[in-house]
Amino acid sequence: MSAQARFLLLVSPLMEHSPAFDRAAALAKAEGAALHILAFDYLEGLATAGLVNEQALEQMRIGYVERHHQWLEDQARPLRNLGLTVTTEVAWVERPLQEILIRLKEEPMAVVIKALEHESLLSRLMFTPLDVHLIRECPVPLHFVSGAPHALPRKIVAAVDPFHHDEHYDSLNDRILHEAVKLATACDAEVEVIYAHDLSDLGAQEYGFGSGAGFFSSVAAKRLFDEQGQAFNDLAARNGIPPAQRHMILGNPAKVLSSYADAYNVDVIVMGRVGHRGLSRLLGSTAETLLYKMPCSVWMVKPEVLD
């Protein structure tokens, strides 16, 4: 008998019940997984206050952590009443990323679930958010929840790019589709696969044209399009995706995926991710950029090797 899968829900220190709670609980119930809810507390002012002695500071820290843990227990109680195995923990940690990575080595998790923290572009350029650090370094799938009208996803889209040529990522598309189908099966949800491609950009790179206009006026356009279509259909077929659920759409991937998700009420987009020293292009852009452009939740799958 296989061991019960475990999901990790990372929650804000602000004691707010985000949609990530409901999504994590629904997924754990659907997949028969145990759920561990973890919050990291660290108040800079409290940690460095010099107006009280160390003993008083320690009592203040303990009191804050205890109040937060009691709040988490209040959130967990109704989930346990539904039959879920739920544990809660609050840790006083200044650098949560390192703590998360250590814990994932010691206590394997099937997925890390977290509410997406929307940051401005300027903020992301100046300070790398925890979400981006997790994309780059987390060794297990990541589920960023951004609004969740349905606690259990009803419509899932797998976003693939079967035409990149880096041998380290040959299996990434299959991993994306495997994860999407597995998720859809557990949730009894619809699953579709999209290859959003910017043909003019690929044409300029592959065939040496200085502009998209020269590419589209050539027979190379049809040849490249046919090659991409064949690669896409081969990928979908070997993963059991019927033709009616395959969509090859011309356009900027971020815009295509965002528009499709908005138009068709997509709950989750499953996509690949790479490390910050890895491929410069994934689905036409970086996973980090795509994350903040999607109107729905995102499930990110790592390659076999993160550079």
In this predicted model, what pLDDT tens digit does every residue of 246-259 receive, in sequence order?
A: 999 988 888 899 99
pLDDT at 42 over 50: yes
pLDDT at residue 47 greater than cutoff 60 = no
Q: Which residues contact 118 (CB under 8 A, 6 or more apart)?
A: 146, 292
Residue 211 has pLDDT above 50, yes or no: no
Position 117 scores a pLDDT of 79
* Long-range Cβ contact pairs of 198-203 (< 8 A, separation 24 or more): 198/250, 198/251, 198/252, 198/253, 198/284, 199/224, 199/225, 199/228, 199/250, 201/284, 202/163, 202/228
Phi, psi angles (nearest 5°) of residue 110: -75, -30
Q: What was the pLDDT predicted at 88?
A: 97
- As a whole number, mean pLDDT of residues 135-144 equals 93
| Distance in angstroms (rounded) separating the CA atoms of residues 274 and 31 | 27
Say what the pLDDT of residue 271 is.
Answer: 93
User: How large is the average pLDDT for residues 168-178?
Assistant: 84
Please state which of the ranges 76-80, 112-116, 216-220 shows the lowest mean pLDDT: 216-220
What tokens does 226 get? 């046919």
Higher-confidence residue: 164 or 107?
107
Average pLDDT, the chain: 82
Q: Which uninterrupted H or E stretch holds 246?
A: strand 246-250
Q: Is the pLDDT of residue 3 over 90?
A: no
pLDDT tier, 207 (very low <50, low <70, confident <90, very high otherwise): very low
CB distance 201 to 254 below 8 Å? no
Q: For the chain, which domains are there?
A: 1-115 (3.40.50.620), 148-307 (3.40.50.620)
Weakest-pLDDT range from 72-81, 116-125, 187-196, 278-287: 278-287
Task: Give the rounded percent of residues in the chain with a pLDDT score beyond 90.
Answer: 52
Residues with Cβ within 8 Å of 143's Cβ and at least 6 positions away in sequence, in order, are 23, 27, 111, 112, 113, 114, 268, 297, 298, 299, 300
Mean pLDDT value of segment 100-119: 90
Rounded distance, CA 104 to CA 230, Å? 39
- Asked if pLDDT for residue 26 goes beyond 90, the answer is yes
Least confident of 58-62, 122-126, 244-248: 122-126
Tokens of 24: 């994590």
17-26, 76-85, 226-235: which has the minimum mean pLDDT? 226-235
